[in-house]
Amino acid sequence: MPVTNLAQQLRSDLDHAGYYPELVAGVIDVALADEPVQSFLVHPETTFDDTEVRRHLTALVLTPTRLVVAHVDDGPGPDGRTSAAATTEAVALGEVRSVGLTHGVTEPAGRSMRTQELTLAVSWGGVANVDLQPATCGDPDCEADHGYSGLISPDDVLVRVSAAAEGGDALAAALAFARALSAATAAAGRGAAAPSVGRRA
């Protein structure tokens, strides 16, 4: 499909997700700042706890120069009425440090890779998780304080899409977006223009 239709396809996907589409489209429009949409991924999620159902939506939009990330959550406001928080972040493609892809594959010994689940993790150094544990010296009888050791792992955006949960079309969209983002960040690393992706992600 022509690249010019991608913005309309993005809006169609937001409408289909049914999660405050006017709000989500509005905040994305501000963040895009009139740049064209080259690829996108819309991922709604629903979580359950003991007392309520919580919804969340992540939208990833690729432009020629940036990755725009939108997160929208809802919940009760101060007066008890439903409220929502919509956050966007625009990251220059040259600032993206890594695009991590974890494929859940059925029949891995077969000749054709059949991905059934994809986890897309994108890092640009904005957020990191720190996991600290008491350090040891290996001596089980040692009572000295060895301080702490830890692991710092980037956690800017993480999207998991499963064919079993969201359907084959959603998984295909995630794979297409992952390919487009990988190509765009590779091009940015070489100082080249990001390729246009004339298909729905």
Please write the tens of the pLDDT for every residue from 10-69: 999 999 999 999 999 999 999 999 999 999 999 998 766 666 667 899 999 999 999 999
- pLDDT of 78 > 90? The answer is no
- pLDDT of 130 > 70? The answer is no
Q: How far is it, in rounded angstroms, from Cα 196 to Cα 201?
A: 12
Task: For the beta carbon of residue 169, count every other beta carbon within 10 angstroms.
Answer: 10
Q: Is the pTM of this model over 0.85?
A: no
- pLDDT of 141 > 70? The answer is yes
The pLDDT, as a whole number, for residue 7 is 92
Residue 123, amino acid = S
Q: How far is it, in rounded angstroms, from Cα 187 to Cα 3?
A: 18
Decide: 172 and 161 in contact? Cβ < 8 Å: no
- 148-157, pLDDT tens digit by residue? 665 544 557 8
Decide: 77 and 32 in contact? Cβ < 8 Å: no
The pLDDT, as a whole number, for residue 22 is 96
Decide: 159 and 43 in contact? Cβ < 8 Å: yes
Domain spans of the chain, in order of start: 3-97+167-190, 100-153
